[in-house]
Amino acid sequence: MIKPQCPKDRIILALDVDTLEEVKELVLELKDYVGYFKIGLPLIVTYGFEAVRLIEELGGRCYYDSKFHDIPNTVQKACINLVKNNIHFFNIHIQGGSKMISGTVKAVNACCKRLDKEPPVILGVTLLSSFGQRTLTEELCVDKNIEDYVSKLAQVAYESGLDGVVASADEARRIRQQIPDKDFIIVCPATRPTWASVNDQVRVDTPRSAILSGVDYMVIGRPITTADNRIAAAQLILDEITTALEDKENEILV
């Protein structure tokens, strides 16, 4: 992987829909405007690999938002099964711990070698974007601010051999400083242009802010999928990304 080659590559469209018909409609309509289609839990529980094959047949690329979080042996086996089913880009929770992560990376790489396959890109999910400080402190009893907590998780991910992390744009800036490896991938969920509703997300960022913070990819769902004109919404986001990339190049960083 798979650093983005053009602005379009940077958009991962979240397909939080229930049927393969809806998947087909969104892929056909938007494949020229987004780089990847994210299959998350709502589709995985019913259609899993069938949805992946459909997207690939229609000419799209897939990001499999598996969010595995279990004991090391279980996650290793699950990830090996993903690889055997030709899933090239997926994630696990960093909160599963370094033993779970490094064991998984090792097992997956060994499996790829045996099967003569390219190793997949595996990302680590830091703290879900629906969490705010109050929930982290009061419900998870974590006595750190979100940025310190996410920064520690990113370090664990890097040292355990993951290819990148899922984190918000605010946290991306710090992760880029702390992990100098330019190939380390940062995916930012909960991206919200200023014209879109925040919905149930808490730690949201605009596409511009994500790019200026050093994010590689952004996950966007409802701002595009529920828009009256989905192509126009995707095009607006693409324009915002393109301008932000140019400004970043010219060091206009606000």
Distance of CA 111 to the CA centre of its chain: 24
24 classed as catalytic: no
| Neighbouring-strand partners of residue 122 | 90
Name which position in 2, 11, 14, 34 contacts ligand C5P (CB under 6 A): 14
Total residues at interface with ligand C5P (CB under 6 A): 16
| Neighbouring-strand partners of residue 223 | none
Contact between residue 240 and residue 192 where contact means Cβ atoms under 8 Å apart: no
Q: Tell me how far apart the alpha carbons of residues 41 and 20 are, in angstroms, rounded to a whole number.
A: 14
Q: Tell me how far apart the alpha carbons of residues 215 and 235 are, in angstroms, rounded to a whole number.
A: 19
Q: Is 208 left (phi over 0), alpha (psi -120 to 50) or beta?
A: alpha
Residue nearest to ligand C5P as judged by C-beta position = 221
Catalytic residue from among 24, 67, 152, 248: 67
In 3-state terms, what secondary structure has residue 252?
coil
Of 107 and 126, the one with the shorter C-beta distance to ligand C5P is 126
Nearest approach, Cβ of 46 to ligand C5P (angstroms)?
15
Of 103 and 189, the one with the shorter C-beta distance to ligand C5P is 189
User: Which string of x and - marks every residue 215-254 that binds ligand C5P (by CB under 6 A)?
Assistant: ----xxxx--------------------------------
> Does 12 sit behind a cis peptide bond, omega within 30 degrees of 0 on the bond before it?
no
| Residues 96-155 contacting ligand C5P, CB under 6 A | 125, 128-129
DSSP notation for 12-28: EEE---S-HHHHHHHHH
Of 222 and 248, the one with the shorter C-beta distance to ligand C5P is 222
Nearest approach, Cβ of 37 to ligand C5P (angstroms)?
11
| Residues 152-211 contacting ligand C5P, CB under 6 A | 166, 189-190, 199, 201
Name which position in 52, 62, 65, 237 contacts ligand C5P (CB under 6 A): 65
DSSP notation for 184-221: -EEEE-SB--TTS--TT-SS-B-HHHHHHTT-SEEEE-
Nearest approach, Cβ of 115 to ligand C5P (angstroms)?
27
The residues carrying an active-site annotation are 67
Question: Which residues of this chain interact with ligand C5P, rule CB under 6 A?
Answer: 14, 16, 40, 65, 125, 128-129, 166, 189-190, 199, 201, 219-222
